[in-house]
Structure 1
Amino acid sequence: MTTVTSRAGTAAVVGWVGSARDRAAGARGLLDDSGRQPAAPPVPAGDYAAVLVCRDRILLMRDEQARIPLFFRESGGRVSAVSTSVRCLGSATELEPRYFCRYLTGNLAQPHSDLTPFAGVHRVLGGEVVELSLTGQLRSRTLRPARRATGLPEPTADGACLDEAAQELRLALETAVGRRMGTTTACHVSGGTDSTSVALLAARLLAEERGGAGDLVLLAGRFSRGELAAERPYLDVAMEAIRRHTPAARAVMVDADDVADFDDFQHHAGDADEPSAHAFRAPFWARLHAAAAELGCDTLLTGCGADPVVDANPYHLHRLARTGRLRQMTEQARAWAAGSERGLRDIVHAYVVRPAFPLAAERITALRRGGTVLGGLGTFNRPGWLRPGFARAHGYRDAGIAESRFVYGRKPEQSLYAAANYVAAPDPLSWQRARRDGFFLSHPFLDPEVVALMSRLPAAAAFRPGRPKAVLREAMADLLPAPIRGRALKVPFNDLYARGLRTHGDALIALCRSARHPLIAEMFDVETLCRAVREAQLGLGDSYSWDRVNSSLALVAWLERLDRRSGAPDAAVPVSAGS
């Protein structure tokens, strides 16, 4: 945490504002801007949460991407404490059932919702400014709109369109990487186009623009067997290309052959600040993060977010359909189908029908694919193990509607970018590691300027059948090694997931059956949940249904360990003019 004082007041900032290299200057600028303006100031760039005690008010704020959590405890219109940990503000005996319904509607449901697991504890939303009096009276909550982008001129030739878009993306990415680099910067390198691009830009900035000042760590998980061993040649090529720019960069290869999803699941899921749908993948990331912490890194850059942000936006088809350009939509859907080796019907259903009628489309799919617990279970439908009475009593249907509107919105081609941001927003596990290890995860592809650029590009600039992320590949053509620039597919982590379920499936079922927290039996039909785990173990279902199983298991583990935790790692900050 960075604390600064000026004539405007005092600011406590977790994270960085403006540039990760000069945290004190960014915190001071945030304080001075807030102190001069009677209304909420614009949100500056950065990954931060801040408490500003000005002469006449107290402001709580977060950056618009919600990278660092911030919570406050409120009762009777007065805020009594603020913390980056929700656990230290709440009571294990006063839970909020509506939160659990919202959480169970999908992976995106937590960070963009005010609700928290604890009654009376609220989340400061991304881009929000909460204004308090000096005695803690809640005055206002202002959610600033996302940045708007002006339109690009539409070139006449597709090639010119791609070239222009690639130049702008390269500049935006270089800026995004540069502002995130700290004194010792780690880059996650997997051998894919996305992470390799970020690491190459970081190495180039160190070598050419900063005269080699600062340290660079190249962090990778290495597999010598299983499906992921096929990534090893690409990883070696990526490391070699990056170190050509910065020979002093330290390559840290973390052996991960013995890691599987769901390893030590009760610890990873149970000790999180709030339930985490991604707790099953924590063992792999925890091993990499431990290596970064040992080297004293202050920021870890990832390639997260590139898939939805810099690839062609398939929901452009929805825009064509709703504006009546059905012939054009059909022609482009055929091109999408040919380029992705999917059927035309699948493309239209996924990107035109489902965004228009998400709940109805899921119900129809569930009826067609019924017969198992996971058959047809999508993102928003009530999973069969969630008791109907609990769902009705605590607003599961309303939560599902709200979540579907957030994910798709009235313009799915724009909502895609907001949803992508919250996939990477710090889950409770990454934030817990950040507090302990001293570094933050940061995602240049999700920088607001990069998102604004890609959201305004014409479809012709981004879509090339059979060539995903065409704009990124063109933007990085002079840096990416040929084997990586030319690859279209990357090996997913399915092997880790399948191996984890095979190894730990029985233990996960035993966890559910032995659970004693009263809310678990009230919320779940435990035997149905156990059947769902068994089906996932056998490979039934799909990614949507597996996500629902993962999030439910994480909630069981979290509730089971709730009463055993004594205090939070960070103390709550009392709210008053003297804080």
Structure 2
Amino acid sequence: MVVASGSRWEQSLFYALEQGRLLLATHPRDLVRGLTRPPALDVAKLVDLVALYDAPESTVFEGVRRLPLGHVLERSPGRPPTVRPWFTPATDEDRAISTAEAPALMREAVRGAVAASLPAGGDVGATLSGGLDSGMVVATASGLLAPAGRGIHAMTHVPLPGAPEPTGSWEADDGPYAEDVARSLTGVTWAPVVNTDRVPPLESCRWALDRAWYPTFNPANQEWCNQIVRDAEARGLPLLLTGASGNATFSRDNDGIVRGLLQHGRLGALVREVRRRAAARGALAPAARSVVRETLPRRVLAWRRAQRRRRLGVSWAMPDVADLPVRADALSDAARADLALLAQEFPPAGRDMWLDFVRLDTSRHGFPQNLSDDVWWSDPLSDPEVVALALRLPEEAWLAGGRNRGLAREAAAGLLPDRVRLRTTNGGQSADVDQWVRGQEQAYRGLVDRFRESPTVRQVLDVERLATAVGPEMTDPATASVWQDIHGRAFAIGQFAVWYEDRVRSG
């Protein structure tokens, strides 16, 4: 028997070997249900998930494995299954592709990917932010569906009134930008998704557990994911389009590109980039200075970034092991290495780092895919053809147009309103989460008591440390989002463990 998985962000395939049988399923829930005995939870896996490290071949269930994308599973009678890669994308730059023609090539690749994602008939749904990625997907889909009288219902999370504005280049509310996109397109209706009932993350994660049988990785976003799925089900929409992987394959930023061109002696490319930026900004001197800044050593750039954060009053940093309420002694070496890289003040950037980002098997984080048996999530920006084009584009091509994320901005010309296409700010997510958790301290403390009784959770979390985290930081608008990223995720993983233990006990 030979079974192959897709090459990028298609439905994951799970398998288990039990009593000589090889069981296969596209959902871990269905595979677990098919086993004669419920599997134990994989404690080591849960520990790593607290640090958001997710090895692609394993699941939270012992003995239930995942076939990584681009791999093949082979099994012969009397032999255990073997797994090997079948798809290794080419990563050499194709210097024959010019910077001028690259946006059109990307635009056409995205069009083909969106077309391949659409069902044969009927309307579809979409998640729509106010940025380039989901906007490009929705605009492209509109161009394909509207001539046939088919429509798109787009949904955007919008915070409650009073949500604080993040510092720096972040904005709390993507709604006005997303609404602009919808209004500019034919056949697109738009609706804001607002947590008006202030459903707390613990309740949102609990609702999702009965459907997904898997822990939530981002509890602050779970409620609006749930609402979008329920809305799509109520409308009978079989598909939700998204652009979740666009930062890797479509709207890659300039970080490290200019420095890499200098390191490889491609001085002509640097001169051309100065000219492109001068044309975009209308002035040569600022354009030249910006290119020179991006060629500076990483230590200098780290110092400049630290100074800018101090001026803005930003103290954000990636968590390290010391911040996580986890049994740190049980973290895998791979999880520790991943955290150490992310915690650097100025992580290394360049083509090699970006290639790792593109090749990251993000389908294992496709949790929303498992929330409904009737609604399929599709990310055309992770389509193999889009990925293949991204990997062979020359580095200079990503600098098209003289702006950061220039290739995507040029590819979206004429499809997205310039207010969105040329936007230089970023949209925050769940900026109002502090309002959802006010008055929920007792619920979190009650869950801590459950954790103390759970043999699994005690092996995964530093329960007493987690207990001390329940306090003012979880409801402070300045810290609530970060609190959910660190402590909220730990609560969600512990919540899954006690949910599963209860389910096994109840039969």
TM-score (norm. length: structure 1)? 0.67
Q: Does residue 277 of structure 1 match 2:217? A: yes
- Among residues 375, 385, 399, which one is paired with 2:325 in the alignment? 385
Amino acid aligned to 2:83: R
Alpha carbons 1:221, 1:253 under 8 Å: kept: yes
Task: Summarize the Cα distance change of 1:524–1:478 in structure 2 as closer, same or farther, 3 Å threshold.
Answer: closer
> Contact 1:338 / 1:465 at 8 angstroms: preserved in 2?
no
Q: Specify which structure has the bigger relative contact order, considering alpha-carbon pairs within 8 angstroms and separated by 6 or more residues.
A: 2
Answer whether contact 2:258 2:291 (CA < 8 A) is retained: no
The match for 1:186 is: 125
In structure 1, C-alpha distance between the alignment counterparts of 2:91 and 2:48, rounded to whole Å:
31
For residues 304 and 68 of structure 2, the distance between their equivalents in structure 1, rounded to whole angstroms, comes to 29
Superposed displacement of residue 404, structure 1: 7.1
Distance 2:410 2:475 in 1: 41
Q: 1:563 to 1:325 in 2, by over 3 A?
A: same
| 8 Å contact kept, 1:147–1:448 | no
CA distance in 2 between counterparts of 1:136 and 1:275 reads 35
The residue number in structure 2 matching 1:312 is 253
Q: Which amino acid aligns with 1:65?
A: R
Name the amino acid aligned to 2:420: I
The answer for the alignment partner of 1:553 in structure 2 is: 491
Identify which of 55, 64, 89 aligns with 1:147: 89
Q: CA separation in 2, counterparts of 1:462 and 1:104?
A: 34
1:28-61 deviations in whole A, cap 9, x for unaligned? Answer: xxxxxxxxxxxxxxxxxxxxxxxxxxxxxx2333
Is the counterpart of residue 524 in structure 1 residue 465 in structure 2?
Answer: no
Which residue number corresponds to residue 50 of structure 2? Answer: 104
Deviations 1:407-436 (A, max 9, x none): 9899212112123x51x64534x133232x
Structure 2: any 5+ residue segments left out of the alignment? 164-170, 275-286, 307-314
**d(CA) in 1 for partners of 2:348 and 2:181?**
36
Partner of 1:468: 404
Residue 69 (structure 1) aligns with: 12
Cα deviation, residue 178, structure 1: 0.7
Determine the structure 2 residue equivalent to 1:300: 240
Indicate the SS of the match to 2:100: helix
Residue type of the alignment partner of 2:457: I
Amino acid at match of 1:148: A
- Which AA in structure 2 matches 1:454? A
Shift of 1:492: 0.8
Does the alignment pair 1:81 with 2:18? Answer: no
Q: What amino acid is the match of 2:355? A: Q
Query: What is the aligned counterpart of 1:168 among 101, 105, 108?
Result: 105
**Structure 1 residues 316, 550: closer, same or farther in 2, change over 3 A?**
farther
Determine the C-alpha separation between the residues in 1 that align with 2:81 and 2:450: 46
Counterpart contact for 1:467–1:488, Cα < 8 Å: no
1:416 aligns with 2:357: yes
Residues in 2 aligned to 1:497 and 1:343: alpha-carbon distance in whole angstroms: 38
For 2:217 and 2:3, how far apart are their aligned partners in 1? 27
Aligned pair partner of 1:451 in 382, 387, 405: 387
Q: Tell me the CA shift for residue 147 of structure 1.
A: 2.0
| CA separation of 1:336 and 1:471: change in aligned 2, threshold 3 A | same
SS in 1 for 2:2: strand
Alignment of 1:340-489 (within 5 A): 345=299, 347-348=301-302, 378=318, 381=321, 383-389=323-329, 391=330, 396-401=332-337, 411-419=352-360, 422=362, 425-428=364-367, 430-435=368-373, 438-463=374-399, 467-489=403-425
% identical aligned pairs: 21
Alpha-carbon distance change, 399 to 171 in structure 1, aligned in 2, over 3 angstroms = same
Determine if contact 2:125/2:241 at 8 Å carries over to the other structure.
yes
Q: Distance in 2 between matches of 1:71 and 1:448?
A: 21
AA aligned to 1:547 is: D
Contact 2:217/2:492 (<8 A) preserved: yes
1:305, distance to aligned residue in structure 2 (A): 2.1
Task: Report the RMSD for the aligned CA atoms in angstroms.
Answer: 4.2
Number of positions where the alignment pairs a residue of Structure 1 with one of Structure 2 = 458
Q: Give TM-score, length-normalised by structure 2.
A: 0.76
Aligned residue type for 2:423: R
Task: Pick from 114, 135, 141 the counterpart of residue 177 of structure 1.
Answer: 114
Partner of 1:116: 59
Cα–Cα, structure 1 residues 402 and 132, in superposed 2: closer, same or farther, change >3 Å? farther
**Residues 342-396 of structure 1: CA distance to partner in whole angstroms, max 9, x if unpaired?**
9975745899xxxxxxxxxxxxx9xxxxxxxxx997456364532355x2xxx53
Call closer, same or farther: CA 1:94–1:286 in 2, change over 3 Å.
closer
Matches within 5 A, 1:212-251: 212=148, 214-222=150-158, 225-227=161-163, 230-243=173-186, 246=187, 249-251=188-190
Give the Cα separation in 1 of the matches to 2:103 and 2:201.
40
Cα distance, 1:139–1:384 mapped onto 2, change above 3 Å: closer
